Chain A
Amino acid sequence: MKNAKNKTSRRETWKRLLAYIRKSLPLLALTIVFAGATVGLSLYIPILCGRAIDCMTGTGTVDFDGIARCLVKIGICASLCGILQWVMNSLNNRVAYRVIRDVRRDAFDTLTHLPLSYIDSHPHGGTVSRVIADVDQFADGLLLGFTQFFTGIATIVCTLVFMLMIHPLITLAVVVLTPLSLFVAAFIARRTYSMFRLQSETRAELTAQINEVIGGQPVVRAFSRESDCLAEFDGINDKLEKASLRAVFFSSITNPSTRFINNVVYAAVCLTGALAVIGGSMTVGGLTSFLAYANQYTKPFNEISGVITELQNALACAERIFSLIDEDRETPDKPGAVSLAGAEGEVRAEHVDFSYVPDRELIRDLNLVVKPGQRVAIVGPTGCGKTTIINLLMRFYDVDAGSILVDGRDLRDIRRDSLHGAYGMVLQDTWMLRGTVRENIAMGREASDEEIEAAARAAHAHSFIRRLPEGYDTVISDDGGALSAGQRQLLCIARVMLAIPPMLILDEATSSIDTRTEMKIQNAFAAMMRGRTSFIVAHRLSTIREADIILVMKAGKIIEKGTHDDLLRAGGFYADLWGSQFEAVG
């Protein structure tokens, strides 16, 4: 059952791959022709050498004209072969790199259309490695596959033909004996498979331990657990050493074994060939050519079996990439979706149900009416799911039932980009673009230097930006530690200040800014919020009290809703929360 499914998916993968290669089919055809030509030319050389040797009959009787003729031919063959080989390799590269480029482009295109639910629920490292490492590996496999597969096949065929031309009987001996080395290689590969699996499992176990302990050094040291951790590490490390030794050693038997069989073939050719020369059915030069062939006849077999594992690996990588490319994208805008130009800012939620996981209900029958210009505070302990509301408002996630409306229009009837444009958003996660400070404030918008500076001033970011080594042209990145968390937050605020949209989402927007700077920004915020519908994930009590609507959340659910006074009067969770803020300790 599973096998059958596997097979069809394999076939699918091949089909997809072929679609990418189709554009390069003429090049590919050319490559195959060149591969045949180079192999033919290079294999013809041993015959020429043999003939040259046959011209050396003994002292004083050497046929120099004959040798010269052969040598000139060798020269021509070798040069031609060299040139063709180079062209062929370059063509191969072109085909493979082109496929990589196209696959990567499509993968990235999907990436920018993935629903947030995918991005949130899949480790980023895994997705990155699909776009980067998997594509590379799959290209390597493809490259190896192209070159070695065709040349391998061509070499086998040509060698066979040339050998048959020299002496059919000895050829038979070679053909019968060589498969032995393939059997040995396959046998060893089968036997070592489980050893390799054990090795990689143990390696994964070790990596997990390392991640945890080295990543958690402060705790490890604070509790003096260094030696306990080392002991635990030793246990896994020893296990890995044993597993690795077995895997590495037993797999490394393959080469000597196949080489031995090749040597046996070589010896057999020597024996039968010499006897044939004595018997007069072959020349010494023929024997020399034959020995050269016997030496390389088995090589393509080994290479092809290597190519097959490489191809399988490449195919597995391709499958992973295609599954990313095929990942469900965000539901596209409806055909008749409208643009939100100059939104009033009326937001309504009607009977909204939502959950991230089907059987873990989070929001049920949420109803909310926010009039233009009103302020909504979302309150609750950290991690209670306040970001869920933002996810729904921005339509990062779609509601399961009911609807959210802006200016009376269902979000699903509004073009997504215009919805995003109607909101200004400052998130707790102060994510920075790789680029200059200027680019980080403009965020793709056309803005003059003056406008950017004005926005930075309004966010109280101007003075620290000026002190940066390159001012507004200082390059920053998401992980670069050049900026403090607070400074990054100021930049995020400046982004919104640049073009204040009709609606605002502020998620604990000032958590990393020290409280004194924060007070200054508050004024700017207040000015910004005036007349604009705003949703604020709030910790500060003043913000909460002044809000027109307070949503109280706990464990992902909205448990209370109302104004400050309503909620205090109701005496629920909010009232407790409020009370604890002032409760005396001890």
Chain B
Amino acid sequence: MREQESDPLKNLFRTMRTYALESVLGPLFKLLEAMFELFVPLVVAAIVDRGIAQGDRAFVASRFFLLIGLGLIGIVCSITAQYFAAKASVGCAAKLRRTLYDRIQRLSFSDLDRIGVPTLITRLTGDLNTVQNGLNLALRLLLRSPFVVFGAMIMAFTIDARASLIFLGVILVLGAVVFGVMLASVPAYKKVQGELDSLTGSTRENLAGARVIRAFRMEEGERGKFSSHNDALYRRQLFAGRISALTNPMTFVILNAGIILLLWTSGLRVNEGVLTVGQTVALYNYMTQILVELVKFANLIVSISKAVSCMKRIDEVLTTEPAMSFPESDPAEDPDAPAVEFRNVTLAYTGGEPALAGVSFTVGRGETVGIIGGTGAGKTSLVALIPRFYDATEGTVLVNGADVKSYPAKTLRGKIGYVLQRASLFRGTIRSNLLWGADAGDEELAEAIRSAQAADVVSAKEDGVDSAVEQNGRNFSGGQRQRLTIARALVRRPEILILDDSASALDFATDAALRKELASLPYRPATLIVSQRTASIRHADRIIVLDDGRVAGMGKHDELLETCPVYREIYESQYRKEETA
């Protein structure tokens, strides 16, 4: 566990290897620039001690050009450094983003569920941008500031060893104070963040729950709650601000204390004849340089630590190994086996009660099986096992007589037309969405659209099948999306058709027409229909009744009415009285 602490940056460094040259050259040129900067006080000292002391105007002029020259080298070095740093950080971020995206697409659904999709999206977008900025800053400045600080100290040492002791003292005290204040302000800012989260929560709540809040007349109370959190935030911000406002004044005072010490000892040394006035000026200049760099460094540490914590979050995903692997080659299928077979299947999501327990059944080619049960009975879990979105904890799921684990993902999922509960379309056109199912011509598309009862959806749009679909299909209603996703599944003429509660947004008439169409598909897929409505499945060849993850009954509608109390209750709750009327 402990070793993982250092891990987050390992992935970053691995990615940086591609940009090894840039990652080394960037800081290197930055150091060069800093080095030339460190020479400046020495040049000034020479101007004072030689140019001024001897009244040598030519010498002063030559040193002037030397200073300009140092400046020129500085700008060339630093622009070069900026370029390499930008290239390395932007490149690394792009590469990291791709690796992460690819990894997410390989993670098992259990992992996706555990980490959460919104979190993953934040990591790919916001977190990665922060990492890019942090990396860029780090490449440019992380080495530079300490280099200047200690460089200035060493330069001071070469001028006067005793004076450099003052430098050492000032650096230590400054470092302690700057980081001490930062450490002290961390918990204070955490509390600020906590209150801010409460405010965010309140705001979100009052938008999402506007109807309920108003129906129950809670606006006044909500305003009071917000106000008290708002006041608390104000107080915490003031407190945190008071602490962090200490940094600048304290560094200023400490530095000046250092200068006082320095000037006094310099006075003594000059009096002894060990030090020249010019050297005193140089020492004084180094001291001010240190202040500037330390303040920069403190800010840098804040940005970098933010980037590191973002990288940590990214790394959590990168180090999650996909729990599933797929073989490369197709398994041998048994032409006589049923299209789908469950053998004593149990599925437990991590740490939970089993969602499915001891489920066994078969679906033959051309057969239709209905799956019904209450909320949380395990209907969706059951069908999700067929395309191997999850692996059965116990037992086997077979497709065409071969274990689903023996199929390459593409082969297995290519056989299945899966219509999910949540009907999602992707940006593009109706056509581009339907072609996800399979490459198909106009004829085949029209056929699938007609079967899915989506003809009026398509014809209502100006450009027919080439009409634009906006992101997430938001320019279509729920029912329209549902029918288009059914069409998408039908385009591939699947061997196995799975409809997971996919007719919920359709009215009874459309639902009935759809069922009729599906029953007469010429390629006779094995069909699994998940539904809460008995009307949708009562004509299936077989109905599986799920109750709390267990099979409570299996058979035809009429048989189940006789033998399965759970089914009878479901049925009666929906049809009470009407049957007899």
Contact = CB atoms under 8 A, between A and B. Distances in A.
Contacts of B212: 425, 427, 431, 433, 443
Given A224-B413, A270-B67, A274-B52, A104 B86 contact: no
Interface stretch (A173-181, A211-219, A528-536): A211-219
A75 B196 CA distance: 41
7 contacts: A97-B234, A108-B227, A124-B204, A223-B492, A541-B574, A542-B576, A585-B539
Interface stretch (A153-161, A406-414, A415-423, A452-460): A415-423
B98 A233 contact: yes
A186 interface: no
Which of A216, A219, A221, A420 has the largest number of chain B CB atoms within 10 A? A219
Contacts of B270: 56, 58-59, 62
B75 A259 contact: yes
Nearest to B237: A97
Interface in A521-567: 540-542, 545
- Minimum-distance CB pairs A-B, first 6: A514-B374, A263-B71, A381-B507, A59-B273, A78-B256, A89-B245
A280 B313 CA distance: 64
Given A112-B222, A277-B52, A540-B574, 18 more contacts: A60-B271, A90-B242, A93-B242, A101-B234, A108-B226, A109-B223, A215-B121, A215-B424, A222-B413, A223-B418, A238-B94, A274-B52, A284-B277, A425-B215, A478-B209, A545-B578, A580-B507, A580-B508
A303 B374 CA distance: 64
Interface in A54-85: 55-56, 58-62, 64, 67-68, 70-71, 74-75, 77-79, 81-83, 85
A253 B271 contact: no
Interface stretch (B5-13, B166-174, B182-190, B261-269): B261-269
A351 interface: no
A260 to B, nearest CB: 4
A271 B205 contact: no
A382 B105 CA distance: 33
B75 A124 contact: no
A40 B347 CA distance: 74
B204 A128 contact: yes
Interface in A165-223: 203, 206-223
Contacts of A275: 57, 60
A381 B505 contact: yes
Nearest to A288: B281
Contacts of A208: 427, 471
A434 interface: yes
A257 B504 CA distance: 64
Nearest to A204: B125
A164 interface: no
A427 B508 contact: no
Contact of A53 (B209, B284, B414, B506): B284
Interface residues of A, number: 156
Contacts of A396: 211, 214
Contacts of A119: 207, 210
Given A208-B427, A383-B478, A108 B203 contact: yes
Contacts of A287: 48, 52, 281
A369 to B, nearest CB: 24
A268 B566 CA distance: 94
A53 B266 CA distance: 9
B374 A516 contact: yes
A398 to B, nearest CB: 14
Contact of A270 (B63, B90, B377): B63
Interface string A367-398: 00000000000001111000000000010100
A248 B519 contact: no
For the complex, would chain B's binding face be called helix, strand, loop or mixed by DSSP majority? helix
A240 B94 CA distance: 8
A541 B219 CA distance: 37
Nearest to A88: B245
B378 interface: no
Interface string B519-532: 11000000000001
Contacts of B222: 112
B374 A515 contact: yes
Contacts of A124: 204, 207-208
Contacts of A64: 267, 271
A105 interface: yes
B77 to A, nearest CB: 8
A586 B227 CA distance: 62
Nearest to B54: A278
Nearest to A86: B249
Given A112-B223, A224-B410, A101 B233 contact: yes
A582 B580 CA distance: 12
A230 B44 CA distance: 58
Interface string B530-559: 001001000100000000000000000000
B420 A433 contact: no
Contact of A263 (B70, B203, B437): B70
Interface stretch (B354-362, B391-399, B509-517): B509-517
B288 interface: yes
B82 interface: yes
A209 B277 CA distance: 65
Contacts of B213: 112
Contact of A131 (B203, B221, B238): B203
Contacts of A586: 515-516, 519-520, 539
A241 B93 CA distance: 8
A533 to B, nearest CB: 16
Interface residues of B, number: 167
Contacts of A209: 427
A278 B51 contact: yes
B144 to A, nearest CB: 12
B577 A53 contact: no
Which of B48, B74, B414 has the largest number of chain A CB atoms within 10 A? B48
Nearest to A233: B101
A514 B378 CA distance: 12
B482 to A, nearest CB: 10
Contacts of B520: 586
Interface string A84-127: 01100110011001101100110011011110100100001001
A240 B95 CA distance: 11
A542 B436 contact: no
A111 B207 contact: yes
Nearest to A381: B507
B285 interface: yes
Interface in A220-267: 220-226, 229-230, 233-234, 237-238, 240-241, 244-245, 248-249, 252-253, 255-257, 259-260, 263-264, 266-267
A222 B420 contact: yes
B178 to A, nearest CB: 14
Contacts of A383: 477-479, 505
A210 B101 contact: yes
Nearest to B534: A515
Given A105-B227, A214-B104, A519 B273 contact: no
A26 to B, nearest CB: 17
A244 B67 CA distance: 34
B332 interface: no
Given A132-B199, A287-B48, A577-B508, A78 B253 contact: yes
A495 interface: yes
B218 interface: yes
Given A93-B242, A211-B121, A516 B64 contact: no
B86 A249 contact: yes
Contact of B117 (A109, A217, A394): A217
Which of A62, A112, A220, A266 has the largest number of chain B CB atoms within 10 A? A112
Contacts of A284: 48, 52, 277-278, 281
Interface string B84-103: 01110111011001100110
Nearest to B287: A49
